[in-house]
Amino acid sequence: MGRVFFDTNVLLYLLSADECKADRAEALLAEGGVVSVQVLDEAASVCRCKLKRPWPEVRELLDAVKAFCEVMPLALDTHQGALDLAERYQLSLYDALICAAAQNAEAAVLYTEDLRDGLVLGGLKVCNPFVG
């Protein structure tokens, strides 16, 4: 399948009460992949603001992700690529930033629930890992 990139929503299922999705997210993460600093930031924000998780639990989640995934830094070329993707495919800027980071990481697959399953952006295929 090639290199995979995880969007924030997939990682947050590690904390889910939905055992099926939590198990699927854990199995995928155990195989390794790539995330961006944006993904880590979004996960921390959702954990604190929406899920009301304490800082030690937030850090534990982020440490687990960093143990299994390469982390791509924020970069100006990611920003520029995101602008291009947002314009071309009518994506939100934040979804386009995830896609651009995945492309810069030379990922073949982007695991996310936020975009249409099967969408292809250049050489990057969007896959909802919870479908089917």
Measuring CA to CA, which residue among 40, 90, 44, 99 is closest to residue 68?
40
* pLDDT number for residue 87: 96
Residue owning tokens 């009301």: 52
Residue 1 reports pLDDT greater than 80: no
Q: What is the percent of the chain where pLDDT is above 90?
A: 95
The domain locations on the chain are 4-127
Amino acid of residue 102: A
- Kindly give the residue spans of alpha helices, DSSP state H, lying in 46-89: 55-68, 76-89
Measuring CA to CA, which residue among 52, 60, 56, 69 is closest to residue 10?
69
pTM: 0.94
Which CATH code fits 4-127?
3.40.50.1010
Q: pLDDT tens digits for 39-61?
A: 999 999 999 999 999 999 999 99
Q: pLDDT tens digits for 10-29?
A: 999 999 999 999 999 999 99
**What does the alpha-carbon distance between residue 104 and residue 97 come to, in Å, rounded to a whole number?**
10
Q: pLDDT tens digits for 68-109?
A: 999 999 899 999 999 999 999 999 999 999 999 999 999 999
